Amino acid sequence: MRKLAEHNIPLREASITQVHSVLRDGNPLIVHTSMFANALASLANPKQQQQWVPLAEKNRIIGTYAQTEIGHGTFVRGLETTAIFDPETKEFVLHSPTITSTKWWPGGLGKTANAAIVMAQLYTQGKCYGPHPFFVQLRDFDTHHSLPGVILGEIGPRLGINSQDNGYLRFDHYRIPRTNMLMRHSQVLEDGSYVKPIHNKLSYGTMVWTRVAIVHSCSKKLACAVTIATRYSAVRHQSELVPGKPEPQILEYQTQQYKLLPHIASVFAILFSASSVLRMQRNVAASISKGNVELLPELHILSCAMKALSSQDSTQGIETCRLACGGHGYIASSGLPSLYTSTTCTITYEGENTVLLLQVARYLIKSYRAGLEGLPVLPSVMYLTAPSAMHQSPPLSNQALIEAFRISSANLVKETESRLCRQFNLEQNFHYAWNRCSVALVHCAELHSRYYMCEKFLSTVESIRASDRVRSVLQDLCRLYLIHHITLNQGHFLRSGTLSGVDLSTLEEEMYELLAKLRPQAVPLVDAFDFRDELLGSTLGAWDGRVYERLYEEAQKSPLNKTDVSKAYHKYLQPLMKSNL
Ligand SMILES: CCCCCCCCCC/C=C\CCCC(=O)SCCNC(=O)CCNC(=O)[C@H](O)C(C)(C)COP(=O)(O)OP(=O)(O)OC[C@H]1O[C@@H](n2cnc3c(N)ncnc32)[C@H](O)[C@@H]1OP(=O)(O)O
Ligand SMILES: Cc1cc2nc3c(=O)[nH]c(=O)nc-3n(C[C@H](O)[C@H](O)[C@H](O)COP(=O)(O)OP(=O)(O)OC[C@H]3O[C@@H](n4cnc5c(N)ncnc54)[C@H](O)[C@@H]3O)c2cc1C
């Protein structure tokens, strides 16, 4: 927090710095500096911001974002916590009517936060208006005791991020002033009348913002993992590549290069996509403040797509890096286990990936149908019904590969839409038909998202300002990324007729060439990520390559090594050894 203040970084930008990576097993303040700060910035009106933002900036108020309940996380409309307006006292009464309405999961809620943005079903004048955000004080600002009517606790150990206190929260007819409803987009007036927002999903804005932040942080997490695994692969010598010759660096093995280089490329693909979504988010935020919500659906879909893809890619990439370090990848001091556990949760939180991909698919199908009818569609999906441009680029050029992605994605959407129509004719119910097609729909969303990421990678590399040598390395990496993802998805390209079996063999050959060509660049590329050793926190990945010394030194810190004979020997082992069992 001192560093943020020193560098004049506003609270809500802390999560896109590396500040949170310093704590490896999660951070009780991360939801405060990210979602809570952003909710105040985007959902509170100017008067409310004046009241709470300075207190949050000074950490007098430490907040969290309390939306998920035991019974509902994904289906936000199904939340059960109620906020009923009492016109007599001009207050909202917050209540948790059932066990399933207990707020569950919010980061920092258990012990750290003294306030929260609570999403609750808003009732006024006898009518429910759906989930809305409220600023709620949970603990006394001086003593930190939970306030009467507020029941708080911590939910217990998790797969990872155990330095963060994820919490639970119940309300027992807890009263807050009317003015604690975040009123930038919708309001409840003193007489209880409801003023609706210009778009009914504006109250979901904090989730959209966080999804964008997650994309950025996934590229950082993956960058840490590939740095560790690549440096280690340059230090580690094992086996014989040629019988009788000295043991080579394990990075010489083609299989090792195949494990690492595509994930180094992936760091750039995710980072460039994150920058593009971030730019869009800033434009949309500026438009919303002028009352224009036209591009909000596009931002929602793009942030869902990129959050889903980047969390999946970075999690898989980190696990591959761990495996690429053999046994030493399994030791905590390698840094890889905590990178994995603090990244795999991004697949689930802020919208479970399958659910987000189905949002993307819904948009693709709607846009495809609109395009066929000649109705206007937004830029990122115009290609679904645009004429093919395959013939315009030299065969197997980067542009041709992007076109192959585009056509294959459009083809898959077309096929799936036909399947949906057939299923609808059988079921006579759109929702059942949708469910029967949902595996295919998720594949549509994945291919569309991959197309977007590939396109962003290529267009950024083509326009980047860099020396010829640096540009050439980035071009090779980008090419490797495109080919790698084509080989992983070959079925789609064969089905759409955009690539033949011969094309795929040619591309595969080129991929193997690229692995060898990029091998000498692997260490410089990860060095260029420029992580300090303190930030990487890895015995395997430190800059000086003293892997074995560091492993040995770290082992000395094990509490079991404080004494030669452990207490457990006297208590359990010795009796066992003498018992003749
Ligand atoms: C690697 C380290 C990480 C570090 C990262 C740093 C920053 C982050 C740190 C924070 C740490 C932890 C954070 C974790 C916090 C949480 O998890 S908070 C809880 C998050 N919860 C969710 O994300 C819930 C997911 N569910 C939803 O968002 C919605 O329920 C869902 C979108 C699935 C459906 O909403 P409905 O209201 O039911 O809507 P539908 O009927 O499906 O759709 C109606 C139309 O509305 C459109 N829509 C939906 N959402 C939005 C939106 N946000 N904006 C704009 N439009 C939206 C949807 O597309 C439909 O449009 P259509 O009718 O088709 O035109
Ligand atoms: C580490 C961590 C931190 C978190 N921090 C916070 C926080 O700070 N604040 C907060 O409010 N919440 C937080 N959460 C909660 C998180 O946002 C939810 O867990 C997440 O949105 C998933 O919802 P769920 O748990 O209800 O999963 P579920 O929706 O129950 O998912 C279970 C399965 O059902 C499937 N499924 C559900 N709906 C559909 C559908 N419509 N179609 C197809 N399949 C479906 C999913 O794909 C999944 O396979 C956190 C969670 C974790 C793990």
Instruction: Name the residue with tokens 């494990």.
Output: 259
Q: Report residue 181: phi and psi, to 5°.
A: -70, 135
349 CA from centroid of ligand 2 (Å): 6
- Which protein residue's CA is at the shortest distance from atom 29 of ligand 2? 74
Decide if 201 is inside a domain.
Answer: no
**Same structural domain, 168 and 213:** no
Q: Does a structural domain hold residue 488?
A: yes
Average pLDDT over residues 54-59: 92
The CATH number linked to 343 is: 1.20.140.10
**Which ligand 1 atom is at minimum distance from the Cα of 130?**
37
| Same-domain pairing of 268 and 232 | yes
* CA 426 to chain CA mean position, Å: 38
For the chain, percent of residues with pLDDT exceeding 90: 92
189 within a domain of the structure (yes/no): no
125 lines ligand 2 (CB under 6 A): no
388, part of any domain: no
* Domain presence at residue 35: yes
**Angle CA(304)–CA(309)–CA(422) in degrees, nearest 5?**
70
Q: What is the mean pLDDT of the chain?
A: 95
pLDDT in tens, 353-401: 999 999 999 999 999 999 999 999 988 999 999 866 666 789 999 999 9
Residue 529 lies in a domain: no
pLDDT digits (tens, 9 = 90+) for 405-430: 999 999 999 999 999 999 999 988 99
Domain check: are 172 and 316 in the same one?
no
* Host H or E run for residue 115: strand 115-124
Residue 351 near ligand 2, beta carbon < 6 Å: yes
Res 16: pLDDT? 62
Identify the residues whose C-beta falls under 6 Å from ligand 1.
15, 30-31, 34-35, 65, 67-68, 73-77, 107, 201, 204, 207-208, 210, 213-214, 217-218, 221, 296-297, 300, 342-343, 346, 349-351, 355, 359, 362, 366
Residues 343 and 455 in one domain: yes
SS3 130: strand
What total of structural domains would you count in the chain? 2
What token pair was written down for 402?
Answer: 């992007």
Catalytic residues: 350
Cα gap 329→87, rounded to integer Å = 60
Which position has the higher pLDDT, 181 or 25? Answer: 181
Ligand 1 pocket mutation pick from 185, 198, 210, 278 by most atoms within 8 angstroms of CB? 210
In this structure, are 259 and 339 located in the same domain? Answer: yes
pLDDT value, residue 147: 98
Query: Are 266 and 482 spatial neighbours (Cβ–Cβ below 8 Å)?
Result: no
Q: Is the pLDDT of residue 348 over 80?
A: yes
Distances (CA, A) of 231 to 18, 324, 453: 21, 11, 27
HEC states along 504-556? HHHHHHHHHHHHHHHHHHHHHHHHHHCCCHHHHCCCCCCCCCCHHHHHHHHHH
| 220 and 177 share one domain | no
Reported ipTM: the value is 0.98
Residue 151 DSSP one-character state? E
- Cβ neighbours for 102, distance < 8 A, ≥ 6 positions apart: 69, 70, 96, 168, 169, 170
Question: What is the best residue among 350, 354, 358, 435 to mutate for testing ligand 1's pocket, by most ligand atoms within 8 Å of CB?
Answer: 350
DSSP 379: G
pLDDT at site 390 = 62
Final residue of a structural domain among 118, 148, 183: 183
Which ligand 2 atom sits nearest the alpha carbon of residue 31? 8
* Among candidate residues 341, 342, 338, 325, the one with its CA nearest the CA of residue 547: 325
Span 511-531, pLDDT tens digits: 999 999 999 999 999 999 999
Binning pLDDT at 50, 70 and 90, where does residue 580 land? confident
Neighbour count for residue 532 (Cβ, 10 Å): 11
| Contact criterion met (CB below 8 Å) for 396 and 367 | no
pLDDT over threshold 80, residue 23: no
Domain limit, last residue, from 133, 167, 183: 183
Helix 205-235 and helix 336-348, axial crossing angle in degrees, nearest 10: 150
- Ligand 2 centre to CA of 397 (Å) is 41
Ligand 2 proximity of 67 Cβ (cutoff 6 Å): yes
Is the model more confident about 413 or about 9?
A: 413
In a domain? residue 573: no
Q: At what angle do helices 438-463 and 254-289 cross, to 10 degrees?
A: 90
pLDDT in tens, 478-488: 999 999 999 99
Question: Using CA positions, which residue lies closest to atom 48 of ligand 1?
Answer: 201
d(CA 519, ligand 1 centre) in Å? 40
Atom of ligand 1 nearest to the CA of 359: 59
Does 210 show up as a binding residue in the annotation?
no
Question: Residue 19's pLDDT is what?
Answer: 66
Q: In this predicted structure, what is the pLDDT of residue 552?
A: 98
The reply to whether 62 and 16 lie within a common domain is yes
Residue 217 lies in domain: 208-376+396-523
89-107 per-position pLDDT tens digit = 999 999 999 999 999 999 9
What's the one-letter identity of residue 460?
A: T
Answer whether 316's CB lies under 8 Å from 485's CB.
no
Position 474 scores a pLDDT of 98
For residues 340 and 221, membership in a common domain is answered with yes
The CATH number given to whatever domain includes residue 76 is 2.40.110.10
Same domain, 115 and 227: no
Q: Which of 463, 485, 487, 486 shows the shortest CA–CA distance to 475? A: 463
- Residue located nearest, by CA, to atom 46 of ligand 1: 201
Same domain, 223 and 170: no
User: Can you read off the two tokens belonging to residue 48?
Assistant: 């409310």
Q: Is 348 in the pocket of ligand 2 (CB under 6 A)?
A: yes
Q: Please check if 291 is assigned to a binding site.
A: no
Inside any domain, residue 62: yes
Range 62-86 average pLDDT:
98
How much is the pLDDT for 26? 86
State which of 504, 523, 542 marks the end of a domain: 523
At residue 259, does pLDDT exceed 80? yes
Confidence (pLDDT) at 14: 76
Distance from residue 440's CA to the centre of ligand 1 (Å): 21
Residue 103 Cα: closest atom of ligand 2: 11
Instruction: Report the b/e string of 239-260 with b at 16+ CB within 10 A.
Output: eeeeeeeeebbbbeeeebbbbb
Task: Tell me the C-alpha distance between 249 and 164, whole Å.
Answer: 38
Q: What's the pLDDT score for residue 389?
A: 61
Per-residue pLDDT averaged across 181-195, rounded? 98
Same domain, 365 and 262: yes
Alpha carbon 182 to chain centroid, angstroms: 26
Whole-number pLDDT of residue 24: 76
171 and 218, same domain (yes or no): no
Report pLDDT for 336. Answer: 97
Tell me if residue 174 falls in helix, strand or coil.
strand
* Nearest listed ligand to the Cα of residue 160: 2
Paired strand residues for 194:
188
Predicted confidence (pLDDT) at residue 17 exceeds the cutoff of 70: no
Q: 442-486: per-residue pLDDT in tens?
A: 999 999 999 999 999 999 999 999 999 999 999 999 999 999 999
The percent of residues in the chain predicted with pLDDT above 70, rounded, is 98
